[in-house]
Structure 1
Amino acid sequence: MTTAGDTEPFEGDDRQYSPTRLQGWLQEVNGPERARPEQYTRAELADLSPRAFLLHNDNREVWHANIGPIKTPQLVALHEGLREVVESNRQDGDKTKPAALLDAYPGLGKSTAVREYGRRLFRKQVELRGETTPSGHRRVPIIYIALSGNTQIRGLNAAICRFYGLPVTGDADTLAERAVDAVLSMKTAAIIIDDIHFLAGGKTNSVRMANQLKYLSNVFPVTLIYVGVGVQQRGVLHEGFSGKKNELAQFGRRTTPLTLLPFQINDEEGREHWQVLLKTIEKKLVLADKYPGMLARDLSDYLYARSTGHFASLMSLINRGCLRAIRSGHERLDKELMNQVKNDAASEESRQELEAAIEAGLLTSRPARRRRRSA
């Protein structure tokens, strides 16, 4: 006999939205925390009806795909740096507000980390000042946009207008005026601009890139938070301090560089941080045969070698491993299962060298006190 619950459609907890649009950003900022699925034993899984078993697995799959953000030491340090820059920028509109630049390698979770900061700041401002401005507009304290390849100034201004749901017709100046009106009416205090390395001219001409970023700081009375890869290597900040180029000097003086580092296991502190991360992730996994030490003890070196200490690579690997463990009925993570899981190309290219160093005893992810305890 079937009940209505056995046949009703089930959408699942997938949340499809774009944070580069206001409605999507509001969903990310204000969306409810996900409920962790029940932790069942194998016997309890076997007692579920076929329909309940499918629903439980669906909930587990979307849960594992969205674990985080996790308060790693790197994320905490980044948020402290952002708070110092962004929340000290209380200057009046006639003054240019200093910007922040998060410049780091790919695969470290830069975008997620900065959006999490933006989400927290957004909610803090709304709680303090209310959901509407004195003029009756929705309060949008911070916005998020992402650039695509070879973006010009017009395209950047259009991205800001598109976020607010404004028309994207007209030249760069028209779009800028439209965007500034929205910034002022909705009391926007900060703009996150992701993938800033796609700004036209950034690959070869640091002066041109600095000029375009300087234009933004002059036009928009907000704190600009840039996120990119290899931006400082193009000389946008460093050349400016020598005084050789005025444009670079001005941009360098107005911008505070921040970074997000991969996990490293070359010293005891780094190994301790890696262990804490794995223990935190392990607690969040919902697998029937999960056990204490599954990640932090038995897979610590393995996971480091396969992720090269990059947070995003690690989470992709674990998410895919959990999917395989659920669908195969294995219900745990171990080397045999994880060896069947594909990961990103950059991690796989570096894997052999790290594995060789670990096997030769030249490198370990386990702190010394744990090695002594297991000896």
Structure 2
Amino acid sequence: MSSKPRTTSFLPGPPVDRTTWEGFHRWYQTREDFIPAPVLTAEQFARLSKRGRYLHNLHRLATHSSLPIQDTPMSERVAHAVKARVEEGAFSHKAGTRGGIMVNGDGAQGKTETVCEAMALFAEEWLSINNYLNPDAMPGTRDLVAPVVYVRCPVKATPISTCQRILDFYGEDYKGMRLEDLVRTVKTVIVEHATKALVIDDITRLKLHREADQDVLDLIREMMSMPGTLVLIGVGIPTSGLLREGCRDPKTREWVYPPVKDRGRSPNDHAASQHERRFQVVDLDPFRYTTGKGMEAWIAHLTGLEGNIRLLNDTKGMLTSGDMPEYLHKRTAGVVGVLEKLLQRGLRIAIEDKSERLTKELLNQITITPGDMPDLDAGSGEQPKIPLHEPEEKKPRGRNTVYDDGGPDAAASAG
């Protein structure tokens, strides 16, 4: 192993904001560009210079902070349903309303990444078959083709702020516009920029107990009349008020809703029943550990994670042998986002204390809290239910220096 200093190509560039056209476009073009740290044995690592070891540790940190999103049986089913729904609308020559789709699930289940990945694949295919041009370009409009629009509802969202977020994606000016002007402008830019899918994340931040209830439902109806497929992502959609109280059929796993009663029916009830007929609702569930099939899927997921861990000890079986799978499921309730946070924290400790191995004893020192997921809004029910865990105390140790830079002298000696 050469002692030549490693490059810092693993350092992240400017943060990617998928809620703008430029950001979403850059994200799906570069989402697979990251190169993880090489797999080294303890002997190979020891032969590196001091600065080489320092850089390799930072590269490992970047690798563990960027664990790839793995397909699961649940996410594959959701991704297929979303992409199929969007393709049905995009390739339809009819002028009628496109059917929408709602992706429902608890927080940290991977709903956003699952939908964005499906939409990235659709966008790549759509642009390719149209030679990266707008097939319906209109004279006088900007040469911007956006087959997919991705926006997030703001906390305490309203119909006005939701429309503004959509226009922000395109970079459109909406200063001084009223709600009806905003909706009309949204419809116009969707046509002008050949948008085939409008993804609205965190849709359940729209609260239907406010006076703007009917405005919200009217907004969704207006969006469904646009020449694109509406994809809504949220937590607790079937009971949020966007749809009437529903239950899931145990055989088909689809959401079903009781008929609207003739007596006492409100405008909201009528509007909700229209949404139910036009939207497919799919759930992204956590891993279950109660059946043989569920256990096999969980272990397969853990096996995939083992292949992306960069510790100096052999990682094969580190997450999948003995009772480790059951332990990890108990700690995370099968929620992929919680599992990722637990492993990232544990991997950092394993590198710092030089044990270079994940064990139950090490993981027992860690407690994952909602504070580890600050982008999820507690008021909207987005934070997952994390199993309670009391961390085990460990003797305090001196300040860790594993991520310290050796400075110019070390860099000179590494040459």
Deviations 1:195-218 (A, max 9, x none): 000124268997664333223213
Greater Cα shift, 17-26 or 326-335:
326-335
TM alignment of 1:1-375, pairs within 5 A:
12-13=11-12, 16-31=15-30, 32-89=32-89, 90-92=91-93, 94-134=95-135, 135=137, 137-169=143-175, 170-201=177-208, 209-218=216-225, 220-238=226-244, 242-244=259-261, 245-298=269-322, 299-345=324-370, 348-350=386-388
TM-score relative to the length of structure 2: 0.77
Looking at structure 2, the residues matched to 348 and 231 of structure 1 have their Cα atoms a distance apart, in angstroms, of 20
- Residue 11 of structure 1 deviates from its aligned partner by 7.2
SS of 2:174's equivalent? coil
Residue type matched to 1:337 in 2?
Answer: L
- Residue 132 of structure 1 deviates from its aligned partner by 2.4
Residue type matched to 2:68 in 1?
Answer: G
Looking at structure 1, the residues matched to 353 and 116 of structure 2 have their Cα atoms a distance apart, in angstroms, of 34
- Residue 9 of structure 1 deviates from its aligned partner by 7.7
SS of 2:78's equivalent? helix
| Matched residue, 1:356 | none
Looking at structure 1, the residues matched to 305 and 214 of structure 2 have their Cα atoms a distance apart, in angstroms, of 43
| Cα distance, 1:108–1:203 mapped onto 2, change above 3 Å | farther
Looking at structure 1, the residues matched to 312 and 359 of structure 2 have their Cα atoms a distance apart, in angstroms, of 14
Looking at structure 2, the residues matched to 164 and 248 of structure 1 have their Cα atoms a distance apart, in angstroms, of 29
- Residue 261 of structure 1 deviates from its aligned partner by 0.6
Contact 1:290 1:331 (C-alpha < 8 Å) held by counterparts: no
Looking at structure 1, the residues matched to 279 and 237 of structure 2 have their Cα atoms a distance apart, in angstroms, of 12
SS of 2:307's equivalent? helix
Deviations 1:228-285 (A, max 9, x none): 0112113533457513432111111111001101101111110111110111111111
Which runs of 5 or more structure 1 residues have no equivalent in the other structure?
353-375
Aligned residues: 348
Looking at structure 1, the residues matched to 214 and 280 of structure 2 have their Cα atoms a distance apart, in angstroms, of 18
Deviations 1:133-190 (A, max 9, x none): 2437232111110012221111111001111111231222333333333222221100
Contact 2:207 2:213 (C-alpha < 8 Å) held by counterparts: no
- Residue 309 of structure 1 deviates from its aligned partner by 0.6
- Residue 350 of structure 1 deviates from its aligned partner by 4.4
- Residue 14 of structure 1 deviates from its aligned partner by 5.2
Deviations 1:13-48 (A, max 9, x none): 355111111121112110143212110111111121
Greater Cα shift, 31-40 or 190-199:
31-40
SS of 2:280's equivalent? strand
- Residue 51 of structure 1 deviates from its aligned partner by 2.1
Residue type matched to 1:159 in 2?
Answer: R
Residue type matched to 1:50 in 2?
Answer: K
Residue type matched to 2:228 in 1?
Answer: V
Q: CA RMSD in A?
A: 2.6
| Cα distance, 1:241–1:95 mapped onto 2, change above 3 Å | farther
Which runs of 5 or more structure 2 residues have no equivalent in the other structure?
246-256, 262-268, 371-383, 391-415
TM-score relative to the length of structure 1: 0.85
Looking at structure 2, the residues matched to 204 and 315 of structure 1 have their Cα atoms a distance apart, in angstroms, of 40
